Amino acid sequence: MQQDKISVIVWNEYRHERENEAIRAVYPQGMHHTIAAGLEATPARSRAALPLQVETATLDEPDHGLSAERLEGCDVLIWWGHKAHDAVSDATVELIQRRVLEGMGLIVLHSGHFSKIFRRLLGTNCSLKWREADEKERLWVVEPSHPIAAGLPEYFELPYEEMYGERFDIPAPDELVLLSWFEGGEVFRSGCCWQRGHGRIFYFRPGHEAYPTYHDANIQQVLANAVQWAAPRVQIVDQCPNAPALEPIKARDMQFAKVGILQGAEDLK
């Protein structure tokens, strides 16, 4: 699949920043704009990295900013949601699921673990433990050879984050890139990769709305790398065709198939 750029949509619920002055102070234009700016400013470390065309969308736009036409042109969708998962229409979820199965990449952030689209694609509850106590998070790179880990140190720390703890009710990741430890003692699978259909999915845990997590250079590097990794390698629209034979098929007596297995077995005696 030949491309000269990667089209990215950063989707954000965009409710906290409008309703809470303290959160608005951290993300004056919304988390989606901070994430988008980080992507544009942070080079991916892959030798084959393509330039990005980054746009944003939010929940309260028409079609949640994700019309069928817009999703058709999207290579990677980044998703942040929290307090309004149920406000996302089932029709939009259907469109996103279809596009992922066709090859579009999906990056789900933080509390997006409970989003309709993530739970549908993974097929589990996606539940976990949580605690908001202003505690330190240490993220360990457990698969340093993975493209999403390119340019990262052995570990990095966030001084304040919301704790997510195991058990995280997800299917076993195809690849685990990052593992978190929290000041209170819990651990969590924080950077998980899957493939569904022809599309790649990356779940990345950090990003509680009350903390400046998306301003952090290491977080921005993970996201820039993840976009390159999740970008489509193919785009294959689902079909279920009645396929013609490639080679001649020898004519056979169909009595066995028509009368059923038991009758056919009797005839062979």
CB 236 within 8 A of CB 198: yes
The confidence score (pLDDT) of residue 150 equals 96
Q: b/e map of 84-100 (b: 16 or more CB within 10 Å)?
A: ebeebeeebbebbbbbb
CB 77 within 8 A of CB 31: no
Question: What is the CATH architecture of 6-230?
Answer: 3-Layer(aba) Sandwich (3.40)
**Which residues are paired to 196 by β-bridges?**
199
Q: Which helix (H) or strand (E) holds 97?
A: helix 90-102
CB 198 within 8 A of CB 234: yes
Model pLDDT for residues 195-229, shown as the tens digit of each residue: 999 999 999 999 999 999 999 999 999 999 999 99
Pairing of strands 199-204, 129-141: unpaired
Backbone angles phi, psi at 93, to 5 degrees: -60, -40
Model pLDDT for residues 148-179, shown as the tens digit of each residue: 999 999 999 999 999 999 999 999 999 999 99
Bigger pLDDT: 88 vs 2: 88
- Where are the chain's structural domains? 6-230
pTM of the model: 0.92
Confidence of residue 45 (pLDDT cuts 50, 70, 90): confident
| Distance between CA atoms of residues 79 and 11, nearest Å | 5
Q: What is the DSSP string of 114-167?
A: GSHHHHHHH-S----EEEEEEEEEEEEES-TTSGGGTT--SEEEEEEEEEEES-
Query: 32 by DSSP, 3-state: which?
Result: helix
